[in-house]
Amino acid sequence: MLDQTIPAPSVAPGQADHPLEFIFHPRAIAIVGASSNPDGQGNGFVMGPKEHGFAGPIYPINPKAKEIAGLSAYPSVLAVPGPLDYVISSIPAAGVPELLRQCGKKGVRFVHLFTAGFRETGDRTRTALEQHILHVARQEGIRLLGPNCMGVYYPEGHLTFQPDFPREPGNIGMISQSGTNASETVSFGGARGLRFSKVFSYGNALDLNESDLVEYLATDPNTHYIGAYIEGLSEGRRFFQVLREAARRKPVVILKGGRTQAGTRAISSHTGSLAGADVVWDTACRQAGAIRVFGVEELVDILMTLASGVRPTGRRVAILGGGGGASVLAADDCNALGLEVPAFSAAVQEQLRPLVHEAGTSVRNPVDAGTLLRNEDIQKAVQIIGGSGEVDAFFVHVSSAFTVHGVGRGKTAEDAARPLKAAARLGGKPFFVVLRNEGRLQGNPENLQKLVQGCVQAGLPVFPSMSRAGNALAKVLQHATRDWEPE
Amino acid sequence: MLDQTIPAPSVAPGQADHPLEFIFHPRAIAIVGASSNPDGQGNGFVMGPKEHGFAGPIYPINPKAKEIAGLSAYPSVLAVPGPLDYVISSIPAAGVPELLRQCGKKGVRFVHLFTAGFRETGDRTRTALEQHILHVARQEGIRLLGPNCMGVYYPEGHLTFQPDFPREPGNIGMISQSGTNASETVSFGGARGLRFSKVFSYGNALDLNESDLVEYLATDPNTHYIGAYIEGLSEGRRFFQVLREAARRKPVVILKGGRTQAGTRAISSHTGSLAGADVVWDTACRQAGAIRVFGVEELVDILMTLASGVRPTGRRVAILGGGGGASVLAADDCNALGLEVPAFSAAVQEQLRPLVHEAGTSVRNPVDAGTLLRNEDIQKAVQIIGGSGEVDAFFVHVSSAFTVHGVGRGKTAEDAARPLKAAARLGGKPFFVVLRNEGRLQGNPENLQKLVQGCVQAGLPVFPSMSRAGNALAKVLQHATRDWEPE
């Protein structure tokens, strides 16, 4: 929470206009409490920027070590030879005020407090310590992220709190009051092709809070879509204004923790936030034009759908794939979500019939022809249906049984997905791929995995179930009347 | 649909009492329309029993081939040298009447018609051909499975329609009007430890229908749990009686295709069945005490929960794992499903506190301590909570972030799951493991996969999300007041 009576640090010369932009251009970074134990985050904070190729010096700070991860260690931030802008604190809570004093002396302007054990404990002394830390930071002109958080993932600048995050930058911005949820969004989304501009795990939001961060992402030209995991608000009224303004500029997807009593109690032990009434969030999201989701997987589903360029214009869907029973359940899933699965006209069915070679298959919609996927007939089918104007979107689902029987066999990922990629282009409508993968200990998991990777590389939105794909279309459609393009 | 005026074939000497038991003890099998093309099912029907080690002769029937898959091919079933009990038809529909005549001459008593292209086409001539086939079969004293289906998977007898199905038998019986849904249930379930007694894909249900098959599984001593995917009923009144009787003996889980208008239309093109009003199914399942599910994944979730021996006695759950944000969402998921996540008593919290080493973690419930899972403290924690009597079930969830940081590292699958297996025993309550695996292209997929496999081998129910685990507990709990034990 920023107290406006204390001036925020000025922007570094030559950097962009936003007052928080300086955070992303440190000349050097230091990890205080760095360690050699590969299981500890005190090591991960060193390995992350090192492995991602951070351009400036990385200083592990640990009075007991000479070297950590092949880098010279220093006893304190004051002992660091050159300039220092960015510090990560991985030391116990009691040491943080003194650390901030030293940071102030050193000219450090941004500190990320991984350090936990403050107001989230419910302990009065620790809550008071947290407030004291805010006081010291303001005296020293330092902006804080956290405490009790994983910090910043900014792939373009080679900053990351997990070495295994993707190195390529993208256009998804994310704020998360939970480190795990941030990590899982990047990891789950990364596997499905999502790439990120900036991700903030911001924990207790002592200084920089959800409003500051969403406001920043709303103006960041590299961020086209915003995701947020929020437990409670530091400045309720301001946030809903910020949200409305952000959602006017670009799509915002909100995952609110604490929608139930049990979740609300869990929040008080996690970040010490007040969850707020759930109905307020429903209303606020709807009024702002933000999309509300209820889990990390759904957050990824929606961000991926948006980022893949899907802009649905209606709820009539074509379902193609196999086999018959999977098609029945796919139609049920779509219809139950409020999507329509219209029977194709006689003219369309007549054109499709020659493409379906097996007896016992239907061309009415769903087209229950797994064999279509073994060759390029899927392109012809999609072109016929797309040209008819009878549907607004395509769902192609591949059953795991068909990947056993030849789909994608003996090909590269790119080859395996080529017919689907070409079909998506020919269809001229939102195109969703459903590749169910629960059977990967049986069957032919390599073929399926190859298809998933090929589709991801081709920029197609890929889902593990029809109900999740249908839900993504339905939710994005609800909001499609707005102008989603960033300014 | 069995016309009772034509007597069913008698039971083979020495076999069990049920009139269908003879199907499972063929001296030899023949695949008519067998082929060498590895992508075709005409090949799969030969490879399945061959690779699974079927004890008797397997005769590929194809007038144009000398040998298929290393087995001598014959021009017709009449040319087969020895006795023949079991025939699979993979030839076009028009040839089936003559095939049945030859089968009758040869003494064949069971024919599985993979052959499709009958009433499901909506064509009058083909519907009439289907009826003619039933007439011929009865004249010849042959029972039919299908047409338009994948047939029988009976691992104990080495009969299978997919070579990659598990070879070990189990206690799940299944009927499915769809081959794909049968295949996916075996494949998805197989990956999570489910093993099957007998699985019937029965398609158009021309002769043997859903009532015959569920009635059979209800009396089969090796079947302890029954799953069913049904599109429409051949004998509505009889089925609901059979269902009630079956569910009185053992748990029955029903996946009904066609719960929406779109699904109902898809069914008419798939098996030509009449879907029936959805509300009738809801009522019938409730009255019979069967568990209703809405997708193959959920069918597997529930069967696996039952088969793992989970018999919940209440809705109070303990949630253990990490991190904080994942714990908040886990509590939300459980609570939203009607489960309770009670705060532990001060006494329990005091006992748990020394097991949690990291600052910023809670022991109130959820216990948001991923570190517990890195060592054997999880056993102590579960024992403390289980002994308190304050909960009725355990959910342990492992975030993908933690598998990166050491859970299961450098160990075998058995080693990786050992602490969880021991904990489950010490807890003395239903114990669910949630291993979210969507990030497997990032992070450490091998560690996660090892944990999944280890848990499956240990007989623990493993779920890919908290909401699916919570749903499984909630659904099984709804039915837990019944006596689920088989007779």
pLDDT digits (tens, 9 = 90+) for A138-156: 999 999 999 999 999 999 9
Residue A392 touches chain B, beta carbons under 8 Å = no
Q: Is the pLDDT of residue B342 over 50?
A: yes
Amino acid letter for position B280 = V
Q: Calculate mean pLDDT across residues A151-165.
A: 95
What does the alpha-carbon distance between residue A325 and residue B202 come to, in Å, rounded to a whole number? 12
Name the β-bridge partners of A229: A176, A255
pLDDT confidence bin for A356, thresholds 50/70/90:
confident
Predicted local distance difference test score (pLDDT) of residue B15: 43
Highest mean pLDDT out of A169-178, A352-361, A413-422, B431-440? A169-178
Place of tokens 């659904």: B475
Tell me how close the Cα of B365 comes to any Cα of chain A, in angstroms. Answer: 7
Between residues A335 and A407, which one has the greater pLDDT?
A335
Predicted local distance difference test score (pLDDT) of residue B14: 40
Q: How confident is the model over B271-300, as pLDDT tens digits?
A: 777 777 888 999 999 999 999 999 999 999
What does the alpha-carbon distance between residue B60 and residue B178 come to, in Å, rounded to a whole number? 25
Predicted local distance difference test score (pLDDT) of residue A9: 38
Tell me how close the Cα of A205 comes to any Cα of chain B, in angstroms. Answer: 14
pLDDT confidence bin for B413, thresholds 50/70/90:
confident
Question: Which residues in chain B have Cβ-Cβ distances shorter than 8 Å to A187?
Answer: 400-401, 438-439, 442-443
Amino acid letter for position A442 = Q
Q: Calculate mean pLDDT across residues A8-19.
A: 52
Cβ separation B266–A341 shorter than 8 A: yes
What does the alpha-carbon distance between residue A131 and residue A127 come to, in Å, rounded to a whole number? 7
Let me know: does A437 contact B449? Beta carbons within 8 Å.
no
CB half-sphere exposure, A396, CA atoms < 13 A = 31
Tell me how close the Cα of B321 comes to any Cα of chain A, in angstroms. Answer: 11
Predicted local distance difference test score (pLDDT) of residue A121: 84
Q: Is the pLDDT of residue B38 over 90?
A: no
What's chain B's Rg over C-alpha atoms? 25
Q: Is the pLDDT of residue B440 over 70?
A: no
Q: How confident is the model over B232-257, as pLDDT tens digits?
A: 999 999 999 999 999 999 999 999 99
Name the β-bridge partners of B144: B111
User: How does the average pLDDT of chain B come out, rounded?
Assistant: 88
Q: How confident is the model over A38-49, as pLDDT tens digits?
A: 878 888 999 999
In chain A, pLDDT over 90 holds for what percent of residues?
70
Predicted local distance difference test score (pLDDT) of residue A42: 84
pLDDT confidence bin for A16, thresholds 50/70/90:
low
What does the alpha-carbon distance between residue A290 and residue A302 come to, in Å, rounded to a whole number? 11
pLDDT confidence bin for B181, thresholds 50/70/90:
very high
Tell me how close the Cα of A180 comes to any Cα of chain B, in angstroms. Answer: 6
Q: How confident is the model over A192-246, as pLDDT tens digits?
A: 899 999 999 999 999 999 999 999 999 999 999 999 999 999 999 999 999 999 9
Question: Which residues in chain B have Cβ-Cβ distances shorter than 8 Å to A266?
Answer: 324, 327-328, 330-332, 341, 362, 364, 366, 368
User: How does the average pLDDT of chain A come out, rounded?
Assistant: 88
**Centroid of chain to Cα A243:** 17
Cβ separation B295–A333 shorter than 8 A: yes
What does the alpha-carbon distance between residue A75 and residue A85 come to, in Å, rounded to a whole number? 17
Interface subset of A 305-324, CB within 8 angstroms of B: 322-324
Nearest CA in chain B to A180: B323
Interface subset of B 210-269, CB within 8 angstroms of A: 229, 231, 255, 257-263, 265-267, 269
Q: Is the pLDDT of residue A367 over 80?
A: yes
Predicted local distance difference test score (pLDDT) of residue B292: 96
Predicted local distance difference test score (pLDDT) of residue A45: 96
Q: Is the pLDDT of residue A297 over 70?
A: yes
Most A CBs within 10 A among B51, B259, B332, hence the mutation to make, goes to B332
Q: How confident is the model over A80-114, as pLDDT tens digits?
A: 999 999 999 999 999 999 999 999 999 999 999 99
Let me know: does B55 contact A422? Beta carbons within 8 Å.
no
What does the alpha-carbon distance between residue A412 and residue A451 come to, in Å, rounded to a whole number? 9
pLDDT confidence bin for B41, thresholds 50/70/90:
confident
Interface subset of A 402-431, CB within 8 angstroms of B: 404-406
Q: Is the pLDDT of residue B47 over 60?
A: yes
Most B CBs within 10 A among A298, A328, A329, hence the mutation to make, goes to A328
Out of A260, A401, A464, the one facing B332 most closely (by C-beta) is A260
Lowest mean pLDDT, pick from A395-404, A469-478, B164-173: A395-404
- E strand map for A258-412: 291-293, 317-321, 393-398
Tell me how close the Cα of B239 comes to any Cα of chain A, in angstroms. Answer: 20
Nearest CA in chain A to B177: A325
Interface subset of A 95-114, CB within 8 angstroms of B: none
Peptide bond into A461 cis (omega under 30): no
Residue A303 touches chain B, beta carbons under 8 Å = no
Question: Which residues in chain A have Cβ-Cβ distances shorter than 8 Å to B116?
Answer: 358-360
Question: Which residues in chain B have Cβ-Cβ distances shorter than 8 Å to A115?
Answer: 359
Nearest CA in chain B to A402: B180
Kindly report the backbone phi and psi dihedral angles of residue A30, in degrees, each rounded to the nearest multiple of 5, phi listed first: -130, 145
Nearest Cα neighbor of B91 from B113, B120, B67 is B113
What does the alpha-carbon distance between residue A219 and residue A198 come to, in Å, rounded to a whole number? 12
Lowest mean pLDDT, pick from A414-418, B196-200, B317-321: A414-418
Highest mean pLDDT out of A442-446, B92-96, B353-357, B482-486? B92-96
Q: Calculate mean pLDDT across residues B120-143.
A: 95
Residue A199 touches chain B, beta carbons under 8 Å = no
Q: Is the pLDDT of residue A334 over 90?
A: yes
pLDDT confidence bin for B6, thresholds 50/70/90:
very low
Highest mean pLDDT out of A380-384, A478-482, B414-418? A380-384
Q: Calculate mean pLDDT across residues B153-160.
A: 97
Place of tokens 């995952």: A255
pLDDT confidence bin for A453, thresholds 50/70/90:
confident
Nearest CA in chain A to B367: A266
Instruction: Using alpha carbons, list the distances in angstroms from residue A14 to A10, A25, A387.
Output: 12, 10, 51
Q: Calculate mean pLDDT across residues A112-125.
A: 91
Cβ separation B297–A438 shorter than 8 A: yes
Question: Which residues in chain A have Cβ-Cβ distances shorter than 8 Å to B270?
Answer: 324-325, 327-328, 360, 362, 368
Q: Are strands B71-72 and B67-68 parallel, antiparallel or unpaired?
A: antiparallel
Tell me how close the Cα of A455 comes to any Cα of chain B, in angstroms. Answer: 14
Predicted local distance difference test score (pLDDT) of residue B356: 81
Tell me how close the Cα of B85 comes to any Cα of chain A, in angstroms. Answer: 27
Nearest CA in chain B to A179: B325
Predicted local distance difference test score (pLDDT) of residue B439: 57
Nearest CA in chain B to A91: B359
Predicted local distance difference test score (pLDDT) of residue A110: 98
Predicted local distance difference test score (pLDDT) of residue A411: 74
Amino acid letter for position A310 = V
Structure tokens, A433: 């791929």
Q: Calculate mean pLDDT across residues B334-351.
A: 96
Predicted local distance difference test score (pLDDT) of residue B449: 76
Nearest Cα neighbor of A89 from A99, A81, A98, A104 is A99
Which DSSP string corresponds to A316-359?
BEEEEES-HHHHHHHHHHHHHTT-B-PPPPHHHHHHHGGG--ST
In chain B, pLDDT over 90 holds for what percent of residues?
70
Nearest Cα neighbor of A59 from A92, A88, A38, A36 is A88
Predicted local distance difference test score (pLDDT) of residue A436: 79
Kindly report the backbone phi and psi dihedral angles of residue A105, in degrees, each rounded to the nearest multiple of 5, phi listed first: -60, -40
Cβ separation A329–B162 shorter than 8 A: no
What does the alpha-carbon distance between residue B363 and residue A349 come to, in Å, rounded to a whole number? 61
- In order of start, what are the domains of chain B with their CATH numbers? 21-145 (3.40.50.720), 151-307 (3.40.50.261), 317-477 (3.40.50.261)
Residue B354 touches chain A, beta carbons under 8 Å = no
